[in-house]
A and B are shown apart, each in its own frame.
Chain A
Amino acid sequence: MDRKRFRLDWRALTMIGALLVIWVVFTIATDGTFLRPRNLSLLARQMSVTSILAVGMVLVIVAGQIDLSVGALSGLCGALATLACVRLEWPLALAFLAALAVGAALGAMQGSLIAWLRIPPFIVTLGGMLLFQGALLGVTRGVSISPPRSFLSVGQSYLPKPAGWIAAGLVGAAMALAALRAEDRRLRFAGYGALAAGVVAVMSAYQGVPVPVLLMLAFAAVLSTLAHQTPFGRHLYAIGGNREAAFYSGIAIERHLVGVFTLMGLLAGAAGVVLTARVGSATPNAGQLMELDAIAAAVIGGTSLLGGQGTVWGALLGALVMASLDNGMSLLNTESFWQLILKGAILIAAVAVDMAGRRGR
């Protein structure tokens, strides 16, 4: 028992340790530029889109599934929202809602094929990826489309600094309440509160909490609650951990699978809007390969591709590791091919370390 607990902690600690090593190396190599608030703010914005996908991907993988279509679906949803604003002159809120609705609907369709027709998720979402890429090329006619200025605020503006501190205060209050209700390990809630305050402090040292970062953290909080505090979330862990046991316990597996893919689609819609706003235009190849970044972030963050294990906050940590590599190497003017090579190596190394840890038990 003690050994197992140690192993779990050891796993999280190696992740944080690896992140610290990466940060220290880049800080030294860039003469401290890496750790400046300005760069950390950029880093947080850079990881936001992948993170929004990754927090959903965790639940998909936890349920023993995979979704390869989320990158293309994000691109498609972002383009549709842009077109709705530009061509149809829809109000911004309606266009955003439409992106979420399209994402959720397409996710639900894929989930239905997987759950009811029992087509392997790899195939359904690989087909979905190609379909959505084609659809994106079709609706954009192969050219980039610029959304109106107001659209860009989702990706490029900052929360006013007082609002940031109010948000941190709310998180702190929620943590205090949770600590009061909890029966043990109360200290961790204090840690979460301190972390929230730290994030706001760093971001406020630059221009405030960026809106995409706020969205990322909000999605992560909601998804984490969903994963741990609702029957739906716990059932997903059971389905991925032992599908037979879940079936014999009377869990409607099909409905849960449709649910998790719908949720993933919804998040892809949200990520698409943020992506378009950050880039400043809807491009015909938007979102390409982002599904792999999301999967890599989840896996580096400790999600088992066999299902049944993984956490939302771990995936966020994984996305931070990957974004740190991108960001640091860009600061050092490393050629972009090295970034891909290093990211690939880190992904494999992370899983190798995990497997070695498991064997060494």
Chain B
Amino acid sequence: MALLELRAITKDFPGVRALDGVSFDLEPGEVHALCGENGAGKSTLIKILCGVYPAGSFGGEIRLRGESVHFRNLRAAEERGIALIAQELALVPGLSVAENLLLGREPHCFGLVRWSEVRAAARRALERVGLEIPVETPVRELGIGQQQLVEIAKALEKNAGILVLDEPTAALPEADARRLLGLLADLRRRGVAAIYVSHRLEEVFAIADRITVLRDGRSVGTAGRAETTPDRVVAQMVGRELGQALPRGERRTGEILLRVEGWSVADPQNPGRRVLDGVSLELRAGEVLGIAGLMGAGRTALLASLFGAARSRVEGRIEMAGTGRGPFRNPAEAIAAGLALVGEDRKRYGIVPYGSVLDNMTLSTLRSFRRGGLLDDRSRRAAVRGQAEALRIKAPGLDAPAAQLSGGNQQKVLLGRWLLRRPRVLLLDEPTRGIDVGAKREIHELIGRLAGEGLGVLVVSSELPELLGLSDRVLVLSQGRPAAAFEGDAATPERVMAAATRA
């Protein structure tokens, strides 16, 4: 009998079906890997399993040791021995390792914490994961790898029999990643089962007993490690119809607008590590260059750092229209040089929610609408109205707060903000994430039109068909390093995905 069984799990989000009848099972003492492209439904599946999405919010059934279970929250799942090791670690940085390990379950007596017991229990827990550090160490002084081991120790301390690891090695240096895999193999021998979610096929094939591939919310197959190959897994991950061909007019590329050499960005959380390492690229007028890669490959870091918005140390050389220099120190410098960035998180980095459409769209060009020190309302409205019509923005009015617009229209407002500025190079990070199909198509057309007008466009998208359809060339990043580059039709989904999953 399977230790854990997920039967025909279906989960809907507004407008999308994230999971469609996925079944998955876990044998005792097994490591079962879950693979798939960004957005294939892996995270949704494990959130359902661990009670993050409570019972009733999805369709299907979860059976634990043959018995049907209904988790109301994460804690309920933990009580039944299922522990989630999330990408975002859930440790309190200011507290000691010991306190973190027993947080919420501190042994106490008459309301006072019994510290000697806390420390003894913490020491036993660390021993189990082979971490030799004093239990009084504050968590913030640990490296990411050690923090991960503390998380696992915490899960084991709660008698977890099933570990669910979501991209555990995404932020880890090589040596820590190997150590983690060693620990998992060791735990397996002691009967702990694990679900291992990862993009890195090398690791998957090193640790997993079985591999299940998800694609577009469906399971496309489960196979034992010996019965499949990395190539076959890649084919399963991408193997979908390319849908509608994206519009790509005949374009003639011009002079080089942007040249980047030896570009490296330090990891803000982990200064020893680099999220980008030695990337070089060239972008010509009238060209769309796609940046492909999996989650954590450094795509967003690349665009943000080019735009002068990185939060950590950036090295390298950037050359725009003939003048070379070091990295921009802030977005204002980058904008002055002719760059524009539409970021991946529109709500966080783009929209001022209570601001009007008018204010949002002119946010980076306000000074150009001054007349005698005051804003010239008439010319500002005229400019915004013109841009809104060109972009077909649907809004109740120019004075409506941007928060009232749909995602697609908000995205168009942000594009309009930059087009008013007439940039030479447009950096687009997930330009169609979370917007409806119609607006998506309009944005695709717009990108093609802008390139046709001589702009250089650097685009990041997790949707491979979109990326390949939009781009003249594709640069593939893998763990911060350039893994491959493809021109035109040479960029096939299989090749790009194979390069992206190669360590």
Q: B378 on the interface (CB 8 Å rule)?
A: yes
Residues on B with beta carbons closer than 8 Å to the beta carbon of A235? 363, 366
Contact of A132 with B by CB under 8 A: no
User: CB-defined interface of A223-250 with B at 8 Å, one 1/0 digit per residue?
Assistant: 0010001110011011001101111111
Closest Cβ of chain B: how far from A177's Cβ, in Å?
Answer: 13
B137, CB-defined interface residue at 8 Å: no
Contact across chains for B404 and A230 when beta carbons are under 8 A apart: no
Chain B residues in 8 Å Cβ range of A248: 307, 309, 331, 341, 343, 349-350
- Chain A: residues with CB nearer than 8 A to chain B? 1, 4, 181-183, 225, 229-231, 234-235, 237-238, 241-242, 244-252, 308-309
CB distance from B148 to the nearest CB of A (A): 28
CB-CB nearest 8 A-B residue pairs = A231-B366, A1-B396, A241-B352, A250-B335, A250-B332, A249-B364, A229-B374, A249-B363
Q: Mark B323-364, 1 if CB is under 8 A from A, else 0.
A: 000000011101110000101000011111111000100111
- Bound complex: CA A87 to CA B206 (Å): 86
Which residues of B have CB within 8 Å of A241?
A: 352-355
B343 engages A230 (CB within 8 Å):
no
B401: chain A residues at CB < 8 Å are 4
Extra 15 A-B pairs, beta carbons < 8 Å, given A181-B377, A237-B354: A1-B400, A4-B400, A183-B377, A231-B367, A235-B366, A238-B352, A241-B352, A242-B350, A242-B352, A242-B355, A244-B349, A245-B352, A248-B341, A249-B364, A251-B332
CB-CB under 8 A from A1, the residues of chain B are 396-397, 400, 404
Query: Which residues of B lie under 8 Å from residue A245 when comparing CB positions?
Result: 348-352, 363
Tell me which of A1, A183, A246, A250 has the highest count of chain B C-beta atoms within 10 A of its own C-beta. Answer: A250
Instruction: Determine whether B375 belongs to the interface, using a CB cutoff of 8 Å to chain A.
Output: yes
Interface residues of B (CB under 8 A from A): 307, 309, 330-332, 334-336, 341, 343, 348-355, 359, 362-364, 366-367, 369-370, 373-375, 377-378, 381, 396-397, 400-401, 404, 417
- Bound-state CA distance A230–B376 (Å) is 9
State whether A238 and B359 are in contact (beta carbons under 8 Å apart), knowing that A231-B370, A246-B352, A250-B335 are contacts in the complex.
yes
Pick from A182, A249, A250, A309: contact of B354, CB under 8 Å: A309
Pair B378/A181 contact, Cβ less than 8 Å: yes
Cβ contacts under 8 Å, A229 to chain B: 374-375, 377
Select B348's contact among A181, A230, A237, A244, beta carbons within 8 Å: A244
> Given the complex of chains A and B, what is the CA–CA distance between A245 and B363 in angstroms?
9
- CA A182 to CA B376, docked complex, whole Å: 11
Residues of B within 8 A of A252 (CB): 332
Out of A230, A234, A242, A250, which one reaches B353, CB within 8 Å? A242
Please indicate the chain A residues that have their CB under 8 angstroms from the CB of B335 in the complex: 249-250
Q: Is the CB of A246 within 8 A of B363?
A: yes
Name 18 A/B residue pairs within 8 A (Cβ), A-sorted. A182-B377, A229-B377, A231-B375, A234-B362, A234-B366, A237-B355, A238-B359, A242-B348, A245-B349, A245-B363, A246-B363, A247-B309, A247-B330, A248-B331, A249-B335, A249-B364, A250-B364, A309-B354
A226, closest chain B residue (CB): B374
Chain A residues with CB under 8 Å of B396's CB are 1
Residue in B closest to A242 when the chains form the complex, CB atoms: B352
Contact, CB under 8 Å: B373 / A237: no
Chain A residues near B400: list those with CB within 8 A.
1, 4
With A4-B404, A245-B352, A248-B343 as contacts: A230 and B373 at CB distance below 8 Å: yes
B336: chain A residues within 8 A (beta carbon)? 250
Determine whether the beta carbon of B355 is less than 8 Å from that of A183.
Answer: no
Q: B440: shortest Cβ distance to chain A, in Å?
A: 22
Min C-beta distance of B386 to chain A, whole Å: 15
Instruction: Say how far B314's CB is from chain A's closest CB, in angstroms.
Output: 16
Cβ contacts under 8 Å, B330 to chain A: 247, 250
Q: Would A308 and B352 be within 8 Å (CB), given that A183-B378, A247-B331 are in contact?
A: yes
